Amino acid sequence: MGENEQNVNTQETVEQPATEQEQNAEQQSNAFNLPGISPQTRDHVLEEIRKFSQKQVVWQRLSSLCILGALICIVVVLFIVVPRVLETLDHINSVAAKVETSLENVDVMVNEMTDASKNLNQLVGENSTSLTDAIDKMAGVDYDGLNQAIQDLQDAVGPMASFFNRFR
């Protein structure tokens, strides 16, 4: 009975996989053989599904190319544009530092000019009486009389100057 049991067990194991394969094949064919749908309709539906799948593949490839293009643009920006922007920012920082120094110098100059104008105001204030007196004295000068005196001197010295010019 030992051999018969082994033969039976061997035959059962051999028959089982064939039965499972047949069952799987039958289930797959039943999946596409729906009741009430003719084989031509089924073939048409499968053809439409295949066409739709092909369109999806084309759109997915196009989308992948667009993503690749965007990635290339990002890489270009990272390696070309960003260093230039950083360089420009460095220049802007150096110019800003120079401007800040210049503004400090302008502040110093403004303070010095303010002090100078205060000193000038003080000088004018202290010497205003002296300046007023000098202006009054200049206003008191008789310019007509002075001009007449100069003319008289010229009339008196003129003939003597021409006499001495003859001996030269």
pLDDT digits (tens, 9 = 90+) for 32-63: 566 677 888 888 889 999 999 999 999 999 99
- Token digits for 101? 């120094």
- Cα(first)–Cα(last) distance of the chain, in Å? 176
* CB contact at 8 A, 32 and 42: yes
d(CA 49, CA 34): 16
Helical H segments across the chain, by residue range: 2-32, 39-76, 82-126, 128-139, 143-165
Q: What percent of the chain has pLDDT over 70?
A: 79
Q: What is the pLDDT of residues 72-108, one digit of tens each?
A: 999 998 899 889 989 999 999 999 999 999 999 999 9
At residue 18, the pLDDT reads 52
pTM metric for this prediction: 0.36
Residue 12 banded pLDDT, cuts 50, 70, 90: very low
**Contacts of 34 by beta carbon, 8 Å cutoff, 6+ apart:** 42
What is the amino acid identity at position 133? D
* CB contact at 8 A, 32 and 43: no
